[in-house]
Amino acid sequence: MNNFPSKETIIDAPQRIAAFIHQTPVLTCSSLNQIVGCDLHFKCENFQKMGAFKMRGAAYAVDSLNEEAKRKGVATHSSGNFAQALALSAKNHGIKAHIVMPENSPKVKKAAVLGYGAEVTDCASNLAARESTLKEVVAQTGATFVHPFNDWDVIIGNSTCANELLQQVADLDYIVSPVGGGGLISGIALAVHYLSPKTKVIGGEPMNADDAFRSLKAGNIVPVQNPDTIADGLRTSLGDKTFAVISELVEEIICVSEEEIIAAMRMVWERMKIIIEPSSAVSLAAVIKGQPKFEGKKVGVIFSGGNVDVEKLPF
Amino acid sequence: MNNFPSKETIIDAPQRIAAFIHQTPVLTCSSLNQIVGCDLHFKCENFQKMGAFKMRGAAYAVDSLNEEAKRKGVATHSSGNFAQALALSAKNHGIKAHIVMPENSPKVKKAAVLGYGAEVTDCASNLAARESTLKEVVAQTGATFVHPFNDWDVIIGNSTCANELLQQVADLDYIVSPVGGGGLISGIALAVHYLSPKTKVIGGEPMNADDAFRSLKAGNIVPVQNPDTIADGLRTSLGDKTFAVISELVEEIICVSEEEIIAAMRMVWERMKIIIEPSSAVSLAAVIKGQPKFEGKKVGVIFSGGNVDVEKLPF
């Protein structure tokens, strides 16, 4: 843990980004408690600015730049939420954002990024093209590359989600979070480690993108190839920083099927009347799958975002 | 106004039903404020028990029965939310509910009513059959008929929605509510009349079920025949009590098209990440339609419920 962010850094993070994010509410639902058999507390990042927790990490990373770096701006490659989060964070600080977007990115997301005043560079829709295009952009502009998840500042920003939750709900036995690239759960695990060490952190992951599960088992990063899951935010594989944090501080990864993800998503839409994206539903699906471990326990469930295309629903 | 519920009754209503309903949250959304051009405060009855404001009126009506009436139980005819609300309220008081339901009622709603322990009597799917079957049930059981909206106790119960809102948000210029049978807006108008007389109450109504608009214009009740609107909660026509309150205390009815309802619903789903039913969207659609009246004003918008079939969406 030598190179992990310090306790002081994690404690100070919320006030650093307070002006740029929402303190999201924690909701409960008695009918879901009855169905699932535990005391569920849902941390609603679907109500975050941009509709996803990504805003926290992007806000912190931009705030952490020195003045010279701010003059040169930030850059990233992303087809989705992180692109918007970084573009908006750059706008909030009056600096430039250069976003490399695969040519098949949803038009509405590209329009949103442009709407925040970012410069968009198109590239072919594969990781090699994204990375080489980004390199060119960085070489030309001197912008600081902010990785969507494998970046300590992004992880520290994401930790504020758990920091808030732990203040909103006392004595949680568990916090269950979705795992994609691992940026969210790493932030959560760090906050819990320092602020509520009795609480156990568990990851939920789609079976069809189970790189975190396999990586923890193997003891090294085992990336997934072309994962096919409805939980589009969880298709990425761990990076070295997120793997290190998860290996050390996360209790277990529970894998869930596509059917279990869709059933959990529908349960939340119908019972709680809130819109969550499939990636969010993976947390609740993992709690249901992981019973009887959670029986009668006080469980924080992270809803990571609410950005869905209402014309393309799985029900 | 001689026969309207008194100020004291309206003020006392919330504590009478506090144990049986949720105090629902008021949400705001800066991007909707920008789009619409005013300061919107959404009262979220989609998060009410049962998923709709109907719980308030049913809870109050059941609580108001004397001991002998409670022994004989309650009865109503309804294909939807009020059936569930009355069945649950009866269960909460340990009394019987007899619900007459048209044979084409959604199975899931019938199952919910049965799940609350109510007795269900099927009938043909027209108003005459509903009323005659209800008469038989009442004659056999001695149960008290509780009308879904044209009933003072139901209206008083519904008034608690505005009572809460006025405490949650000070100095509202307007409250905009959907109008179906008028039970909700009548309760709101009474609460506003007594508690915040400067606030104006405006109704939103589907053009395709514009009986309240026509009735106010004509000065007498003009029922609609077979209204065809996606706002399924607003297909009913006013009763004598709700017509009297609306005539006296509601400023204006704004009528909106089906397209406007669907567009407003989608805006809320996508921007606010909450699930509202089409009837709820009529309020917001009316605010958008009614501009520039609302420009820069502080407007309470009532979301009446969130019960939608996620397999049958209009987008």
Do B273 and A310 lie within an 8 Å CB cutoff?
no
φ, ψ for residue A16, nearest 5 deg: -65, -35
Instruction: Count Cβ atoms within 10 A of the Cβ of residue A129 and give its class: 0-12 exposed, 13-18 middle, 19 or more buried.
Output: middle
Decide if B270 and A313 are in contact by the 8 Å CB cutoff. no
Give the minimum alpha-carbon distance from A75 to chain B in angstroms, rounded to a whole number: 26
Given B54, B70, B96, B200, which residue is catalytic?
B54
Q: Average the pLDDT over B79-95 and give the result.
A: 94
Confirm whether B54 is a catalytic residue: yes
**Domain at B7-49+151-303, CATH class:** alpha beta
Task: Among A71-85, A134-148, B99-113, B136-150, name the one with the lowest average pLDDT.
Answer: B99-113
Map out the domains of chain B as residue ranges: 7-49+151-303, 74-142
Name the amino acid, one letter, at B194. Y
Contacts of B111 (CB under 8 A, 6+ apart): none
CB contacts of A46 in chain B (<8 Å) are 273
B148 — pLDDT class (breaks 50, 70, 90): very high
Tokens of B258: 């089906």
Distances (CA, A) of B139 to A297, B109, B132, B176: 50, 25, 11, 40
CATH fold, domain A7-52+151-303, is: Rossmann fold (3.40.50)
Three-state DSSP class for A216? helix
- pLDDT tens digit string along A182-229? 999 999 999 999 999 999 999 999 999 999 999 999 999 999 888 999
Instruction: With beta carbons less than 8 A apart as the criterion, state whether B128 and B147 touch.
Output: no
A122: closest CA among A107, A137, A103?
Answer: A103
Q: Which two tokens mark B19?
A: 């144990």
Assign B76 to helix, strand or coil. strand
Instruction: Please tell me the distance from the alpha carbon of residue B233 to that of residue B52, in angstroms, as a whole number.
Output: 10
* Contact criterion met (CB below 8 Å) for B100 and B124: no
The model carries a pTM of 0.94
Asked whether this chain's domains B7-49+151-303 and B74-142 adopt the same fold, the reply is yes
Residues of A in contact with B270 (CB under 8 A): 310
Per CATH, domain B74-142 is 3.40.50.1100 = yes
CA distance A299 to B54: 31
Residues A273, B51: C-beta atoms closer than 8 Å: yes
Q: What share of chain B is helix, strand, coil (3-state, %, to 5)?
A: 50, 15, 35
b (16+ CB within 10 A) / e for A253-279: bbbbebebbbbbbbbbbbebbbbbbbb
ipTM: 0.93
Search chain B and give the residue with CA nearest A273.
B275
| Structure confidence by residue, pLDDT tens digits, A76-121 | 998 789 999 999 999 999 999 999 998 888 888 888 899 999 999 9
pLDDT per residue over B249-290, tens digit each?
999 999 999 999 999 999 999 999 999 999 999 999 999 999
Residue A30 above 80 pLDDT? yes
- Residue B116 scores a pLDDT above 80: yes
Q: B108 pLDDT band (50/70/90 cuts)?
A: confident
Query: Mean pLDDT lowest for which of A265-279, B117-131, B163-177?
Result: B117-131
Q: Residue B101: phi, psi to the nearest 5?
A: -125, 130
The pLDDT score that the predictor gives to residue B225 is 86
The B97-102 sheet, strands edge to edge:
B119-123, B97-102, B74-77, B144-145
Compute φ and ψ for A69, nearest 5 degrees. -60, -40
- Please state, rounded to an integer, the average pLDDT across all residues of chain B: 96
**Interface with chain B: mutation pick from A42, A81, A273, A311, highest number of B CBs within 10 Å:** A273
Q: Spell out which residues of chain A touch residue B276, defining contact as CB-CB under 8 Å.
A: 273
Residue A1 pLDDT > 80: no
| Confidence category of residue B214, pLDDT binned at 50, 70, 90 | very high
Q: Is the pLDDT of residue B1 over 90?
A: no
What tens digit of pLDDT does each residue of B151-179 get? Answer: 999 999 999 999 999 999 999 999 999 99
CB atoms B310 and A310 under 8 Å:
no
Mean pLDDT over the full length of chain A: 96
